[in-house]
Amino acid sequence: MNRLLGCILVLFFLAAGELAAQTVSADPVSKLRNQRNYAQAYNQAIEAIKAGDYSQAAVFLDKALEYSANAPEALLQRAKIFLAYQDYDASLQDVETILKNKPETGEAWYLKGILWMMRDSVPQALQCLNEAIRRNYTTEEAFFYRGVLKNLQGEYNGAIYDFTMAIDKNPNHAMAFHERASVRRLVKDLQGALYDYRMAVGLDSTFLAAYNNMGQLKMILGDFQGAVDDFSRTIRLDPANNQAYNNRGQAFYLMGDYPKAVEDFYAAVVIDSAYAAAWNNLGNAYAKMEKYEEATNYYTKALQIDSGFAVAWLNRGFVNELLGKLENACSDWNKALSLGRMEAGKYVKECK
Amino acid sequence: MITTDRTDIMKKLLLLFLIAYLVYPIQAQSDPKIKRNKFFAGKEGFKEAWKCVKKGNEFYKNGKGYYQDARQSYLEAYNYNPLVPELNYKLGICYLYTDDKFQAIEYLRSAYNLKPGVTKDILFYVGRAYHQVLNFDSAIVSYQNYLARLPNKEKARAKAEIDKLIQECYDGKKLVQNPIRVIISGLGDRINSEYDDYGPVLAPNDSLLYFTSRRPSGKKAERNPYDNKYYEDIYVARRQGSGWTDVKPLGKPVNTRHNDAVVGMTPSGDALFIYRGKIGGGDILQAWHRHKKDKFTSPFQVNEKFLSKYRETSICLSSDSTEVYFVSDNPSKSQGGKDIFMSTTRKKGTDRWKKPVNLGPVINTPYDEEGVYITPDGKNLYFSSKGHNTMGGYDVFRSIRLDDGSWSTPENLGYPINTPDDELFYRPDGLNPKYAYYSTVREGGRGGKDIFRIVFLGEEKELVLASDTDLFAWKQAFPPKAFPRIPDFLGIDSTLVITGKVTDAATGKGVMARIEFIDAGASKTAATAVSDTSGNYRASLPAKTKYGVEIMAKDYLFFLEMVNLAEDTSDVLFVRNFALTKVEVGTKVVLRNIFFETGKATLKPESYAELSNVLKFMEDNPSIRLEISGHTDNVGSRRVNQKLSEDRARAVVDYLVSKGIDRSRLESKGYADTQPVATNDTSEGRALNRRVEFKVIGK
C-alpha cells in the first residue's frame, strides 16, 4: 500500500514538475539548453575578465544576454565593463535594468552609487551605497566609498566608522587607513591620525600622499624633524615632487632654518615655475631673513601667477608694512580681504 | 614777558638749588696723563705715536666739541700700543661723546681691566657706556660700584645723579623688554648729513620740511667756539614722492651768522618760529612767509608773554591758534630745569594772550622738558623729557588731554623710538598718523643727530605659509576598479533529460514500472522515474556519465542494465527504451553480480546489492518460487566443482532466508560445469560460466 502511495506521489510530483516547466517554457529541453549556453558564455566572459580582456568579456556577456536577456549576473558584469570603459550611461542603464527586476541586488546598488559619484552627485551616491550595504553588499569597497561620501558630506564620525569597517574587511587597506587618518585629523584626533598615517605607509611604502600628509601632521604636532624626514622620503620616492619640496621647506622654515627652507622652496619652483604657493613661501623665508625687498618680489611673482592668491596679498602687505610702505601694505590687505582672508580686516582697520 | 610773583621765584630757586646739590655734576671727564714710557721709546713708530698722543691731548682738553679730532689722533697712537689704560680711557670718552658712542664700552672696559684705578670716574663712564648699548644690568653694577668707591662726601653729592641713572636703567630694561613695532629710518642723505641735523618741522600740507642743521652753509661758515660745531642754520626741503629734494638753507634774513634753529610753524604755515640763542638766554622769533616772493620776513620776537630773560627754546600753537605751548627755563613756577608752559588767547583770533601757566608736575619734572608739540586735534601733547621714566637723556612722551582738561600721566613712547640718547622734536605726520618724525642719534645714522621717520606698525603679524594640502587621497582610487575581485563562475546546469518507453519484451506493450538510475561512479541513486501505463518515462540526470538502470515492474523480472551516456553525442536529451521480461515458470535470470571468495562458498559483501534485488523481486512477487543454481567452469574436478556449485547456491538461499524469505519458496541446486552458457576455452567464456542463476519454478 505504501509503495503504491509512494508511486502515486512520485507520479504526482513528476506531473506537477512537468506542468511547471511547461508554464515557463513550452520546451524544457530548449530552456535547459539556453541556460547552459548562457552559463557557458557567462563563464567565458569571466575568464576574459580574469585575463583582463574586457572587450572580449563584453562580447561573451552580450552573447550570454542573448540567451537570458535580463540575467542580473551578466548585466552586472557588463555594467562594470562599461564603468571600466567610462561609458557611465550604458553602465547605469544595465544597473537600472537589474534593479528593476531584482532590487535586492546589493552590488547593483553599489555600482549605481559609484556611477552617481562619477557625476559628483554625492547625496544620491550615498543613498545608493546605503542601500547596497543594507542589502548585504558589505564589501571593503562599499564601506570605503561610503566613508569617502560621508566625509564629503561632513559626516566625519560616520566616515571614520566606514573606513574602520573597510579596514576590518581588509586589514591591508592602506588607502582606508590614509583616509581615516585625514578625517581624524579634521576632528582633531591628531594622535589617531598619526597612527593611521603610519599604518598607511607601513602597508604601502610608496604611498606619497601618506608621507606628505603625515609630514604635515607632524608639523602641526611640532615634530618638525619628523616632518622633514617624511618629506625627504617623499622626495626620494619622487624627486620631482614639488609639493614635497614645498612642504619640507615649510618644516625647515618652522624650525627657523631659513636658508634650507629657501633651498627647498627654490627647488619647488624650479620643478614648477607656476607654483604660486612656493613663491609665496620663498617670500616668507626671505622676509624672516629680513630681506624684505626680495620677499616682496617673490610675493609679486606668486601674485603674477595667481592674482587671487589671498595669502600672498596678505603676506606682501606684512612685508610692505615692515618696509614702512604702509599705503602699499593697506592696499594689499584690502585685496586679501576682498579675496576672503578675513583676518586682513583688522589690518585694514589699522590703516585708518 | 612772562611775569611771576616773588614767592614763586623763591620756591623755584630753592628747588633748583636742591637739584643742583643733589645732582652731582659729573660732567667733566678726567684727563689722565698718558705716560711717554708706555710707548716703548725707541721702538719703530714711537715718534709718530707719541706725537699723536700729544695732538690728541690738545684736542681732548678743549672739551667735547673736539673729541672727534682727539679720537682720530688717539686711534693712531692706539694702533702703536693698545694696552695703555689712560689711552683706552680717553678713547672711550671720545667715543662716548661723539657719534660712535656704541664703541665706547670696548675702550673703557679695556681701560678698567688694564688698570681699575685709571681714573676715579672710570666706573661711572663704564656705566654710561653700558647704558648706551642697553646693557642695563652691567650699567647698574658699574654705577653702584662707582658710587660705592667714592669718598663719603662725594658719595653723598653724587648719589642723586647715580640713583637717577640707575632708575633710568631699570626703566630702560622694562621698555626694551616690551619694544613697540616701529620702523625708524633716516630721511636720507639729502636731509641728514655728517653734522647734526634736527628739529623737523613740517608745513601743514607736509609738502615742505624745515629743519635745523649744523652743516657748513658755505665756505665762510663759522664754528661755534663753545662746541666747535658750525652754527645752526635753517634748511628747507621739498617733498618728492616718498623722499625729499631741493634741500637748501633759508638764507637771510632768517639765517644769520650765529645760531638759527627752526622750532615750529604757525598752523596756517604762514610763519616759522625760530630760536636764537644767546649767552645766558635765548628767544623765539617769528618770520612771516611772503608767498609771492617765497621768502621769509626778518624774524621778530613773538608775543612778549612767551618770552623772558631766560631761555625759551620751543613753541607750538594749537591748530585754532587759541593755545600756545612753549618751553622755558624760566624758574618762575618751574618744576625744575626747562618746563612746558601754556597760554590761551583772551579772544580768539587776537594776539592777546593770558599769563602763561606751567603745565604742572604731571607733565613737568625736576629735569628738563623740551620740544613740545600739540596735535591738531588738541588731544595729544608730545614732548621730550629727561624725567618721568626716561631710559636716558631726553625721551619722547605723550600725554592725553582728559575730559576735564587735565593731562594724563605722560607715557614713554617706548623703545626703540626712545634710547638712552636724546630723542627730541617729535612731530607726527600731519597727513598720516602712522608716521612721525624726530631727531636723535642712532646707530647707522649719517653722523651727529639725524632726522628720522618713524613708521608705526600695527600689531605683530605672522606670515602665512602656503601649502597644497591634499588631505584626502581617495581620488587616487577613483574611479574604483571595475572588478575589485574576479566574479565567481556560474555553475553550469549539466542536467540531462532521459526519456523513453518501458515495454513488455514479448508483446511490445507499455509497462508501468519504477526505474532507478544509479550513478555507477558514486554508487548512489541519481534519479528515479515511473513510467506511465503506456510505458513512457522521463527523468533528469545530473551528468553525462554511466548509469545503472534498474527497473521493477509487477509480474516482470527485475531489469538491470548499464547505460553509458558519455558515449552519446546528444547534449541534453537522451532516449532509452527498455524491454522487460514477464515472469514465467522456467524463466532463468543470471545473477551477474554475485561474488564469492575464491574456491569457497562465502559471499562477498559486494554481492548484497544484487541479492537485495532478488530479495525485493521475491517480496514483490510473494507467490513466486525460485530455484537458485550454482555453476562453474570446467576447471578442476567435477566432484569439487559439483560441491562448490551446490554450496554457493545454498549460500545464496541461506542469505535470502536470512532476509525473511520462506525457505519453502527456494530450492538450491549445483550443476558444476554441466550447463555452460559460453565456451570454457577462453577466460571470458569461463567467467560467464562461473555464475549463479535463478529459475522460476512456481508462481
Q: What is the CATH number of the domain that holds B666?
A: 3.30.1330.60
pLDDT digits (tens, 9 = 90+) for A48-72: 999 999 999 999 999 999 999 999 9
- On the question of pLDDT at B287 being above 50, the answer is yes
Asked if B497 lies within 8 A of A309 by C-beta distance, the reply is no
Same domain, B74 and B214: no
Query: Nine-digit cell at B211?
Result: 629743519
Closest approach of chain B CAs to the CA of A29, in angstroms? 7
Instruction: Quickly list DSSP for B145-190.
Output: HHHHHS-HHHHHHHHHHHHHHHHHHHHHHHHHHS---EEEEE--TT
Contacts of residue B459 in chain A, CB cutoff 8 Å? 346, 350
- Count of A–B CB contacts within 8 Å? 157
DSSP summary character for residue B504: E
Query: Can you tell me which residue has the cell 618696509?
Result: A323
A80 at the B interface (CB within 8 A)?
Answer: yes
Would B120 be classed as within a structural domain? Answer: yes
Domains of chain A by range and CATH? 275-352 (1.25.40.10)
Q: Assign residue B198 the CATH number of its domain.
A: 2.120.10.30
User: How high is the mean pLDDT of chain B?
Assistant: 89
- On the question of pLDDT at B19 being above 90, the answer is no
**Residue B39 is which amino acid?**
F
Q: Choose the closest CB to B493 out of A36, A76, A243.
A: A36
Please indicate whether residue B670 or residue B205 has the higher confidence score (pLDDT): B670
The ranges of chain A with pLDDT < 50 are 1-26
Mutate to test the interface with B, among A4, A163, A182 (most CBs of B within 10 A): A182
Would B482 be classed as within a structural domain? Answer: no
Length of chain B: 699
Q: What is the pLDDT of residue B13?
A: 40
pLDDT digits (tens, 9 = 90+) for B458-484: 888 999 999 887 888 888 888 888 898
Q: What is the pLDDT of residue A258?
A: 98
pLDDT-based confidence at residue B560 (cuts at 50, 70, 90): confident
Q: What is the pLDDT of residue B41?
A: 59
pLDDT-based confidence at residue B26 (cuts at 50, 70, 90): low
Q: What is the pLDDT of residue A17?
A: 38
Q: Choose the closest CB to B493 out of A35, A77, A323.
A: A35
Same domain, B346 and B451: yes
Q: What is the pLDDT of residue B282?
A: 80
Would B690 be classed as within a structural domain? Answer: yes
Mutate to test the interface with B, among A36, A105, A282 (most CBs of B within 10 A): A36
Would B60 be classed as within a structural domain? Answer: yes
Number of neighbours of residue B177 by Cβ within 10 angstroms: 8
Asked if A324 lies within 8 A of B183 by C-beta distance, the reply is yes
Same domain, B206 and B338: yes
* Alpha-helical segments (H) within chain A: 2-24, 28-50, 54-67, 72-84, 88-101, 106-118, 122-134, 140-152, 156-169, 174-186, 190-203, 208-220, 224-237, 242-254, 258-271, 276-288, 292-305, 310-322, 326-338, 344-351
Would B373 be classed as within a structural domain? Answer: yes
A309 at the B interface (CB within 8 A)?
Answer: yes
Q: What is the pLDDT of residue B221?
A: 85
Same domain, B514 and B615: no
Beta-strand pair B300-301/B295-296: unpaired
Same domain, B95 and B187: no
Q: Which of these three, B177, B201, B217, is where a domain ends?
A: B177
Would B341 be classed as within a structural domain? Answer: yes
Would B467 be classed as within a structural domain? Answer: no
Mutate to test the interface with B, among A4, A291, A315, A331 (most CBs of B within 10 A): A315
- Alpha carbon separation from B120 to B32, B123, B193, B561 (Å, rounded): 10, 8, 36, 141
Same domain, B409 and B298: yes
β-strand partners of B262: B274
Same domain, B683 and B535: no
Q: Which residue of A has its CA nearest to B480?
A: A114
Query: Can you tell me which residue has the cell 615655475?
Result: A273
Q: Which of these three, B121, B142, B177, is where a domain ends?
A: B177
Same domain, B243 and B221: yes
Q: Choose the closest CB to A250 out of B467, B483, B528.
A: B467
pLDDT digits (tens, 9 = 90+) for B210-251: 999 999 988 888 888 888 889 999 999 999 887 898 899 998
Same domain, B192 and B147: no
Q: What is the pLDDT of residue B42?
A: 62
Pick the range with the lowest mean pLDDT from B167-176, B431-440, B500-509.
B431-440
Q: Choose the closest CB to A42 out of B465, B490, B528.
A: B490
Across the range B341-348, mean pLDDT stands at: 87
Q: What's the complex ipTM? A: 0.78
Q: What is the pLDDT of residue B302?
A: 85
pLDDT digits (tens, 9 = 90+) for A199-256: 999 999 999 999 999 999 999 999 999 999 999 999 999 999 999 999 999 999 999 9
Contacts of residue A253 in chain B, CB cutoff 8 Å? 465
pLDDT above 90 coverage of chain B, percent: 59
Contacts of residue A28 in chain B, CB cutoff 8 Å? 497
Q: Which residue of A has its CA nearest to B436?
A: A324
What gap in Å lies between CA B413 and CA B396, rounded to an integer? 6
Asked if B529 lies within 8 A of A14 by C-beta distance, the reply is yes
Contacts of residue A312 in chain B, CB cutoff 8 Å? 466
Highest mean pLDDT among B354-368, B509-523, B562-576: B354-368
Asked if B478 lies within 8 A of A210 by C-beta distance, the reply is no
Q: Assign residue B137 the CATH number of its domain.
A: 1.25.40.10
Q: Assign residue B512 the CATH number of its domain.
A: 2.60.40.10
Closest approach of chain B CAs to the CA of A228, in angstroms? 15
Please tell me the total count of domains within chain B: 4
Asked if A182 lies within 8 A of B472 by C-beta distance, the reply is yes
Mutate to test the interface with B, among A80, A252, A265, A296 (most CBs of B within 10 A): A80
Across the range B608-619, mean pLDDT stands at: 87
Across the range B275-284, mean pLDDT stands at: 80
A187 CA to centre of own chain = 19
Q: Which of these three, B177, B201, B216, is where a domain ends?
A: B177
- On the question of pLDDT at B87 being above 90, the answer is yes
Phi/psi at B635 (5° precision) = -80, 135
Which domain does B542 fall in, by range? 496-580
DSSP summary character for residue B605: G
- On the question of pLDDT at B8 being above 60, the answer is no
A33 at the B interface (CB within 8 A)?
Answer: yes
Closest approach of chain A CAs to the CA of B432, in angstroms? 9
Would B479 be classed as within a structural domain? Answer: no
Same domain, B402 and B528: no
Same domain, B286 and B344: yes
Same domain, B563 and B636: no
